[in-house]
Amino acid sequence: MTRITTLDDADAVATRASREIARLLEDALGRRGMAHLALSGGATPAQTYELLAEGITDWTGVHVWFADERCVPPEHEQSNYLLARRTLLDRIEIAAEHVHRMKGELGPDQGACDYASELAGLTAAELEAATSVPRQTSAANHGGAAAPKPLPVLDVIVLGIGPDGHVASLFPGASTLRAGDQAICLPVNDSPKPPSERITLSLAVLRAARRCVLLATGAEKANAISAALAAPSEQVPASLLARERLTVIIDDGAAAANPAA
Ligand code: 6PG
């Protein structure tokens, strides 16, 4: 069941979101001794990240990943990594090897391939792979029966949403939405939101996550939120998220087109 919380304004959204994300991470840490968090870019989550930095006292077991990245250097103003550094990573004690940066400077294809390897490289035990969504490797690779490779399962993925209903860098009608349940990380060369070259987690990885936390504020997101909660459609990537593992935290402006929200 999708959990929808509507609050007065953006400050209240950031406060509630940071508390919910902290709760989800603490739960994962308690259950498995580690927690895998993926961050999106954009303006909406920045305040949430700043509050999250104070929301968890011990970040030792947390791994920080990224839901998407622009193909720019990590110090570039458009970098999602730079946003995360300024609002969260530079404010917490976290091991460098626990921060898994998408290397946008490699370009879409190499960057996506590199990240898929890193994410897949974590052992099944570390990611508590969701055996319900095994990935079949080709028999040719192993000369025998296909050995199912589990799809990485992240604990919390923080998502913004565009006015067009995109999440991460999965855009309406894009071929990335049809990459299948074996895809982990994908190149984007034609993003309608600048810059055009990006790297994005796949829809399969978003859908496999234990929880996606979708944040939206302002009337300009109202139609996107309404469409995200309506029937699934490739024209609204947010509507393709796993509804039973989705938390939506929005303000009155973003809820305006969806009385149920
Ligand atoms: C990106 C983001 C993207 C963003 C939405 C919402 O790299 O641009 O990951 O998915 O979250 O476009 O952005 P705003 O919060 O700025 O509206």
3-state SS of 97-113?
HHECCCCHHHCHHHHHH
Is residue 191 in contact with ligand 1, taking CB distance under 6 Å? Answer: no
pLDDT at 258: 77
Q: Whose CA is nearest to atom 12 of ligand 1?
A: 162
Pick the atom of ligand 1 nearest to 69's CA: 7
Q: Which of 41, 12, 67 is nearest to 162 (CA)?
A: 41
Decide if pLDDT at 131 tops 50: no
Q: 38 C-alpha vs ligand 1 centroid, how far in Å?
A: 13
pLDDT, tens digit (0-9, with 9 covering 90-100), for 203-242: 999 999 999 999 999 999 999 999 999 999 999 999 999 9
pLDDT average, residue stretch 106-121? 95
Considering the chain, what percentage of its residues have pLDDT values greater than 90? 85
165 lines ligand 1 (CB under 6 A): no
| pTM across the whole model | 0.92
- Confidence band, pLDDT 50/70/90 cuts, at residue 135: very low
pLDDT at 132 over 50: no
Q: Residue 195: is the preceding peptide bond cis (ω within 30°)?
A: yes
Query: Over 60: is that where the pLDDT of 130 sits?
Result: no
Q: Is the pLDDT of residue 111 over 50?
A: yes
- Rounded CA-CA distance 26/61 in Å is 10
Distance CA 65, CA 72 (A): 17
Check residues 166 and 259 and name the one with the higher pLDDT.
166
Cα–ligand 1 centroid distance for 82 (angstroms) = 14
Return the SS3 of 130. Answer: coil
